[in-house]
């Protein structure tokens, strides 16, 4: 059996002049993705940030979702329930995260409720099964050498979930 040409692994990396490992000190920049899943409509929304994942970045991502999708998809909504993991930038005990959510609520006029999953229970979060596998599959074997490449890869998520075609870039 003849081996097939593979777009993955070392061959793909050599093709675009990159490494098979991640070396942050050699990178020109960084991209931090943040995903939002609208459970009612089964629509995903991706924000691509050029900074670290911080509570301000999470709040800004939610604000962008509300501006570009949420208020149009749910025009009668005056409150939103967020299902989130308990760690990282949106940690349940983070005062900064709570402060950013208060600022977002004031800016949008929404009543925001946050339900955190207990530690080590994020596997029960629907976004882990409905959005992230398709995002992961869309970038497998792709040489992520620019924001445009990443945006184009996200457009290849197909019909698995609606709405990832235009990820927002936030810096």
Query: Which residues have CB under 8 Å from 71's CB, separation 6+?
Result: 77
Q: pTM to 2 decimals?
A: 0.78
d(CA 82, CA 85): 10
- Could you report the per-residue pLDDT of 66-103, keeping only the tens digit for each? 999 999 999 999 999 999 988 889 999 999 999 999 99
User: Residue 83: which H helix or E strand, with range?
Assistant: strand 79-84
Instruction: Provide mean pLDDT across the span 112-132.
Output: 88
Could you tell me the domains of the chain? 40-170 (3.30.420)
89: Cβ contacts below 8 Å, ≥ 6 apart: 53, 54, 55, 57, 58, 97
Q: Could you tell me how far CA 142 lies from the centroid of its own chain?
A: 17
Please tell me the distance from the alpha carbon of residue 133 to that of residue 7, in angstroms, as a whole number: 19
Cβ neighbours for 11, distance < 8 A, ≥ 6 positions apart: none
Query: 132-139 — which CB contacts under 8 Å span 24+ positions?
Result: 132/35, 134/44, 134/158, 134/160, 134/161, 134/164, 135/33, 135/35, 135/44, 135/46, 135/164
> Residue 105 — pLDDT band, cuts 50, 70, 90?
very high
Q: Which comes out higher in pLDDT, residue 31 or 45?
A: 45
Which H or E run contains 110?
none
């Amino acid at each position: 059996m003849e081996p097939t040409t593979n777009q993955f692994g070392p061959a793909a990396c050599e093709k675009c002049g990159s490494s098979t490992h991640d070396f942050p000190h050699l990178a020109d920049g960084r991209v931090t993705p943040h995903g939002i899943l609208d459970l009612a409509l089964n629509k995903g929304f991706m924000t691509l940030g050029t900074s670290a994942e911080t509570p301000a970045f999470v709040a800004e991502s939610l604000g962008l979702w509300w501006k570009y999708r949420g208020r149009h998809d749910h025009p009668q909504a005056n409150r939103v329930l967020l299902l989130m993991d308990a760690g990282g930038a949106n940690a349940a005990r983070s005062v900064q995260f709570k402060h950013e959510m208060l600022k977002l609520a004031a800016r949008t006029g929404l009543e925001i409720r946050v339900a955190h999953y207990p530690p080590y229970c994020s596997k029960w979060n629907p976004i882990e099964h409905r959005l992230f596998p398709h995002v992961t599959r869309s970038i497998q074997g792709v040489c992520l050498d620019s924001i445009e490449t990443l945006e184009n890869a996200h457009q290849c998520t197909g019909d698995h979930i609606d709405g990832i075609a235009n990820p927002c870039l936030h810096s």
